[in-house]
Amino acid sequence: MTSRRSFIKAAGIGAAAATVAAPAIIKAAKPIKWRLQTYSGAPLGAHVIKPQIEAFNKAANGEMEIELFYADQLVPTNELFRALQKGTLDAVQSDDATMASPADVADFGGYFPFSTRYSLDLPVLFERYGLNEIWQASYDEIEGVEWLGAGAWDPCHIFTKDPIRSLKDLKGKKVFGVPTAGRFLARYGLIPVTVPWEDVEVALQTGELDGVAWCGFTEAYEVGWADICNYALTNNVTGAWCGSYFANSKSWEKVPPHLQELFKITMDQSHYYRQVWYWGGEADLRVNGDKMELTTIPKEEWDTVVADADGFWDEIASKNKRAAEVVKAFKKYNEVMAKAGVPYRY
């Protein structure tokens, strides 16, 4: 009994000591703080990234917190890559071209003419046709930046103050848009103009811009451009915007594996949300939207634009080996879709 009492007493003292010491042992480390800037303005950002960041911050349970900034709030959009590489930003959500990425795949970020028809085409190209591996290899060669993954946004339509009913109506129109699509459309007389995202609405009102070729119907309505533009061209330049998430390499290395995985999971959640939001929104606004009149370039004219894209693809493919690999994947995918027929292609 004496031995038993001694054991219990010792055990009690040990447990008490452990209880007292526990707070020092499990005390949370100082949370990791990140600054992430998106290409998107606040109205659109409420859908395309804010829910993801809020979900991540909640699930991170105090271990990490991401502060979200919208287009041009910390740095101009065309300086996003440089700011990320320097560590001014910890992460970025943008397409490669708009953020002025030096990667040899940058031309395919944003809207690459007629590379996709539907938003689901893009993730399939990345997951099943090798684009994940191509993008990873490209950014592995660039110091200071980690490419984390890509997803699809809305299709590219042209919204203008004056109607477009033929190719000749494109001539001379000053349009805000994504770089690669702008270069392609310039051959039909469209004039690509770059202004800060938050200045687009004023530029449309003052006449500095005649329209936008930056988004689909959903964004045009969401951010107020549909209140200024009178016409929406139903012929789209491509079926989905290609955007990615990027992180500063040193910032990413400081994030423990379980939080890295959590960030990627919430990225995928965001990609899924956008697929549904845009797919439903684009159709609904075409049918029920009442702010813009729909116009269409006749099929025989537009078919010449689609055919011209082949030459543009070959021109981009000739720039470097990796660009050629991307174009090869696009061609292979579109060939499969065309042979598959309905519902993949009509």
In this structure, the number of other CB atoms found within 10 A of the CB of residue 128 comes to 12
159 touches 282 (CB < 8 A): no
151 touches 243 (CB < 8 A): yes
**Section 168-178 average pLDDT:** 95
* pLDDT at residue number 160: 98
Domain boundaries, the chain: 30-154+241-283, 158-240+293-340
| Alpha-carbon separation of residue 187 from 110, 237, 297 (angstroms) | 19, 13, 16
Window from 19-33, 95-109, 140-154 with minimum mean pLDDT: 19-33
333 SS3 class: helix
- Residues 305 and 186: their CA atoms lie apart, in Å, by 12
The pTM of this model reads 0.89
Q: What is the DSSP string of 265-304?
A: HHHHHHHHHHHHHHHHHHHHHHHH--SSEEE---HHHHHH
Give the whole-number percent of the chain exceeding pLDDT 90. 89
- Alpha helices, DSSP H, located in the chain: 2-26, 42-48, 50-59, 80-86, 121-128, 131-140, 179-185, 200-206, 217-223, 249-253, 257-288, 299-317, 321-340
* pLDDT at residue number 1: 44
Instruction: Kindly report the backbone phi and psi dihedral angles of residue 317, in degrees, each rounded to the nearest multiple of 5, phi listed first.
Output: -60, -30
pLDDT at 22 over 90: no
pLDDT at 178 over 80: yes
- Residues 324 and 336: their CA atoms lie apart, in Å, by 18
* pLDDT at residue number 289: 97
What is the band of 8 on the pLDDT scale with cuts at 50, 70, 90? very low
pLDDT at 148 over 90: yes
Determine the CATH number of domain 158-240+293-340.
3.40.190.170
- Residues 4 and 23: their CA atoms lie apart, in Å, by 30
**Section 232-241 average pLDDT:** 96
Pairing mode, if any, of strands 174-177 and 191-193?
parallel
* pLDDT at residue number 145: 98
Instruction: Count Cβ atoms within 10 A of the Cβ of residue 153 and give its class: 0-12 exposed, 13-18 middle, 19 or more buried.
Output: buried
Domain 30-154+241-283: CATH superfamily, name plus number: Bacterial extracellular solute-binding protein, family 7 (3.40.190.170)
**Section 22-28 average pLDDT:** 43
* pLDDT at residue number 246: 98
What is the band of 15 on the pLDDT scale with cuts at 50, 70, 90? very low
Cα dihedral 268, 272, 278, 281, rounded to 10, equals -150
What is the band of 26 on the pLDDT scale with cuts at 50, 70, 90? very low
In this structure, the number of other CB atoms found within 10 A of the CB of residue 164 comes to 22
* pLDDT at residue number 315: 96
Condensed to tens digits (0 to 9), the pLDDT of residues 295-335 reads 999 999 999 999 999 999 999 999 999 999 999 999 999 99
* pLDDT at residue number 221: 97
Window from 19-28, 79-88, 120-129, 179-188 with minimum mean pLDDT: 19-28
pLDDT at 27 over 90: no
Condensed to tens digits (0 to 9), the pLDDT of residues 88-118 reads 999 999 999 999 999 999 999 999 999 999 9
User: Do 30-154+241-283 and 158-240+293-340 agree at the fold level?
Assistant: yes
| Closest C-alpha among 152, 119, 330, 323 to residue 244 | 152
Average pLDDT, the chain: 92
